[in-house]
């Protein structure tokens, strides 16, 4: 075990005034403005004078023009508005306190984060993440050339996926870890160049981005900022091209993350790796049309579907197909470990290493569906229940859990000092000062420090009242009773299916999803997946002819399973997927959700309702295009959306 280098435990996790300036939970009925938005009205979304209200129905959907830095003189940045005129505005901005990030749903004021990340990411970390992505974009052409020559690039492919994963929202906040990633990216690139030179007699001329060498004696933060501004500047005045470049970049981050999950499960596909490298290389292109970028985004959806299929194969091949399983929500006396994230392989490693230790293992967040895998439940009797809810509640959940806590993947929030000593991270996850569990050469992890910490902590002293939820309704479980489902639909006993799920978050407008499910009529069935389920996962909804009205399909990557259910039902009724009585009411937060959305669009699925807000990186024209072609639309109010779905 190592300590992530960087800030000490006494260092403030947020800048002074952060909570006040970036608070997401607003009192009901009040309209407040972010002071930040008035000073830095950058990006898409609300104008600087627009009030932020808690309900989605009250939110304006009009789009402001993108405001992007066109040139930077540190101490004074010149900002150019693209799209509507060419006015300029000057703001005093400290050299290392400017950033451009709008990759998640909770970007400050709905515009994008330009001074401090709403996720807790500093401008400095954001800049080195951007520099890492720049280095990966430079590595990609070298990898593609090596593939043409038959050179094995698997190490580079896996590294690119892990590194992109690390730059996703709420994964890694450790600036020094990103410096190590950058150094490895350059080392892999140069080693691959040498192999290429030895393989062919024809010398290769590399572009500037593939020859870039970071100056480690100078600020990597400033270098990252400069190359991010270069990406922005190269888009010229075409805001729609820039919007689609960001869509491709964020989508490929999500797809790469799923590909990394699949690799850990022993599932790899060369075509997926090649496509990821192609997208990274294409981000630098200046000659693609709007249609080209749209097609690239849809191709990301295609390959993301394949990545999710690989994860499904890894999970079901190793742990069996999920079966409906009651999961206790109570606790029992004894020492305890809590495992959060998505990584079922690492969960099993913890279970294996805690056999006969007297420690009970609980899941948190998106690991709830792990209880549905029969081989895990059969093999590890100390794998007991689920503790807490979604990722955004972890500061409360982790604080009150009296044992060790392991974060295997996203989402990690900046930790509170009173529980950080019992918090452990691994893989691409990290935060400066936290306990980090490095992998050995064979990829395994020694969890003995976690076990030791759990033994030191008090654990639970008494058993609480038994409560449960049921998970495990993946495609095999649902399709196993397909005849009953089809008969119930034909007999009018099931009127409609709703897929209500996706990423959860902290905004109060996300209560929409619980309110929506509350209003679903008794003759309708709700399927759910990902952490969005925690808004209503313990709701008692009863059943229809023995078919539960609330079906937990699984994790976010189990969107693959949900898609297979929809396709099977469409085939059974001999209609297209868009013609079955199914409505998708989705919530999004980070880049995995972007990749899943692109997958659904690639499959031609229409009438998706997306919220709580439309992505800030979608320009008005791109949003209009998606609305016209796929009828992609924002959520409004639960009653209005429910009525519209049932009317169709």
**Does the pLDDT value for residue 329 go beyond 50?**
yes
Domain boundaries, the chain: 325-456, 473-647
Place of tokens 């990690």: 412
Name the residue among 109, 25, 101, 15 with its Cα closest to residue 60: 109
**Does the pLDDT value for residue 617 go beyond 90?**
yes
Q: Quick one: pLDDT at residue 50?
A: 32
Q: How far apart are CA 17 and CA 116, in angstroms?
A: 11
Decide whether 325-456 matches 473-647 in CATH topology. yes
Burial 382-414 (b: 16+ CB within 10 A, else e): bbbbbbbbbbbbbeebbeebebbbbbbbbbbbb
Contact 373, 476 (CB under 8 A): no
Q: Quick one: pLDDT at residue 3?
A: 63
Give me the torsion for CA of 255, 258, 262, 268, rounded to 10°: 10
CATH of 473-647, one of 2.60.40.10, 3.40.50.2300, 3.20.20.70, 3.40.50.2030: 3.40.50.2030
- pLDDT bin (cut points 50, 70, 90) of residue 615 is very high
Average pLDDT over residues 275-282: 98
Q: Which of 88-97, 458-467, 567-576 has the lowest mean pLDDT?
A: 88-97
| Fold (topology level) of 325-456 | Rossmann fold (3.40.50)
Q: Which residues, including other chains, have CB under 8 Å from residue 571's CB and lie 6 or more apart?
A: none
Contact 465, 328 (CB under 8 A): no
Between these two residues, 1 and 71, which has the higher pLDDT value? 1
Contact 331, 411 (CB under 8 A): no
The whole-model pTM stands at: 0.88
Average pLDDT over residues 90-114: 74
Q: Quick one: pLDDT at residue 96?
A: 60
Sign of CA pseudo-dihedral 194, 198, 200, 205: positive
Q: Quick one: pLDDT at residue 49?
A: 28
Average pLDDT over residues 395-424: 96
DSSP string, 609-624: EEESS--TTS-HHHHH
Q: Quick one: pLDDT at residue 4?
A: 57
Average pLDDT over residues 515-542: 97
Name the residue among 390, 428, 472, 446 with its Cα closest to residue 160: 428
Classify residue 604 as left (phi > 0), alpha (psi -120 to 50) or beta.
Answer: left
**Does the pLDDT value for residue 603 go beyond 70?**
yes
| Tens-place pLDDT, residues 215-234 | 999 999 999 999 988 888 88
DSSP string, 352-380: HHTTTTT-EEEE-GGGGGGGG-HHHHHH-
Average pLDDT over residues 386-398: 96
Q: How far apart are CA 128 and CA 179, in angstroms?
A: 7
Between these two residues, 54 and 392, which has the higher pLDDT value? 392
| Tens-place pLDDT, residues 78-95 | 333 333 333 333 333 455
Name the residue among 536, 161, 144 with its Cα closest to residue 311: 161
Q: How far apart are CA 231 and CA 121, in angstroms?
A: 21
Q: Which residues, including other chains, have CB under 8 Å from residue 400's CB and lie 6 or more apart?
A: none
């Amino acid at each position: 075990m190592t300590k992530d280098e960087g800030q000490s435990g006494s260092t403030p996790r947020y800048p002074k005034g952060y909570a006040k300036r970036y608070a997401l939970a607003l009192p009901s009925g009040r309209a407040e403005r972010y002071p930040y938005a008035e000073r830095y009205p950058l990006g898409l979304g609300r104008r600087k004078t627009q009030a932020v209200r808690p309900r989605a129905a009250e939110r304006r959907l009009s789009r402001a023009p993108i405001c992007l830095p066109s040139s930077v003189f540190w101490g004074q940045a010149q900002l150019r508005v693209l799209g509507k005129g060419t006015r300029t505005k000057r703001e005093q901005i400290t050299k290392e306190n400017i950033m451009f990030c709008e990759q998640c749903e909770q970007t400050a004021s709905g515009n994008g984060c330009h001074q401090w990340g709403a996720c807790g990411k500093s401008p400095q970390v954001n800049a080195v993440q951007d520099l890492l992505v720049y280095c990966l974009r430079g590595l990609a052409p070298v990898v593609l050339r090596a593939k043409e020559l038959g050179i094995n690039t698997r190490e580079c492919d896996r590294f690119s996926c892990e590194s992109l994963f690390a730059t996703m929202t709420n994964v890694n906040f450790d600036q020094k870890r990103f410096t190590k990633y950058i150094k490895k990216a350059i080392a892999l690139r140069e080693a691959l160049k040498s192999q290429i030179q030895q393989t062919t007699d024809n010398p290769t001329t590399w572009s500037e981005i593939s020859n870039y060498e970071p100056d480690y004696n100078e600020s990597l933060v400033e270098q990252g900022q400069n190359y991010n501004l270069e990406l922005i500047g190269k888009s010229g005045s075409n805001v729609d091209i820039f919007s689609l470049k960001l869509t491709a970049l964020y989508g490929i981050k999500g797809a790469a993350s799923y590909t990394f999950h699949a690799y850990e499960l022993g599932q790899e596909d060369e075509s997926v790796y090649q496509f990821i490298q192609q997208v990274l290389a294409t981000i630098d292109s200046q000659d693609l049309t709007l249609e080209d970028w749209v097609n690239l985004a849809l191709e990301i959806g295609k390959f993301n579907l394949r990545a999710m299929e690989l994860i499904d194969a890894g999970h079901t091949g190793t742990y069996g197909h999920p079966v409906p399983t009651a999961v206790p929500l109570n606790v029992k006396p004894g020492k305890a470990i809590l495992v959060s994230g998505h990584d079922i392989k690492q969960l099993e490693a913890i279970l294996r290493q805690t056999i006969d230790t007297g420690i009970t293992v609980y899941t948190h967040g998106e690991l709830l569906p792990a209880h549905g895998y029969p081989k895990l439940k059969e093999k590890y009797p100390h794998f007991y229940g689920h503790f807490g809810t979604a990722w955004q509640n972890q500061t409360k959940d982790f604080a009150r859990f009296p044992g060790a806590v392991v974060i295997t993947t996203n989402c990690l929030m900046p930790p509170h000092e009173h529980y950080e000593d019992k918090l452990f991270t691994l893989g691409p996850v990290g935060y400066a000062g936290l306990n980090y569990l490095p992998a050995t050469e064979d990829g395994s992890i020694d969890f003995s420090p976690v076990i030791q910490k759990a033994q030191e902590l008090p654990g639970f002293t008494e058993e609480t009242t038994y409560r449960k939820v049921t998970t495990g309704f993946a495609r095999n479980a649902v399709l196993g009773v397909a005849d009953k489902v089809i008969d119930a639909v034909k007999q009018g006993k099931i009127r409609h299916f709703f897929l209500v799920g996706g990423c959860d978050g902290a905004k109060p407008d996300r209560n929409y999803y619980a309110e929506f499910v509350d209003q679903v009529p008794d003759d309708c069935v709700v399927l759910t997946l990902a952490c969005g389920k925690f808004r209503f996962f313990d709701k008692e909804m009863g059943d229809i002819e023995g078919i539960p009205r609330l079906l937990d399909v699984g994790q976010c990557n189990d969107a693959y399973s949900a898609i297979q259910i929809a396709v099977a039902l469409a085939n059974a009724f001999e209609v297209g997927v868009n013609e079955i009585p199914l409505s998708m009411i989705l919530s999004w937060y980070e880049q995995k959700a972007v990749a899943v959305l692109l997958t659904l669009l690639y499959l031609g699925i229409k009438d998706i309702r997306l919220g709580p807000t439309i992505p800030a990186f979608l320009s008005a024209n791109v949003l209009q295009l998606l609305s016209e072609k796929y009828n992609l639309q924002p959520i409004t109010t639960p009653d209005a959306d429910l009525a519209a779905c049932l009317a169709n």
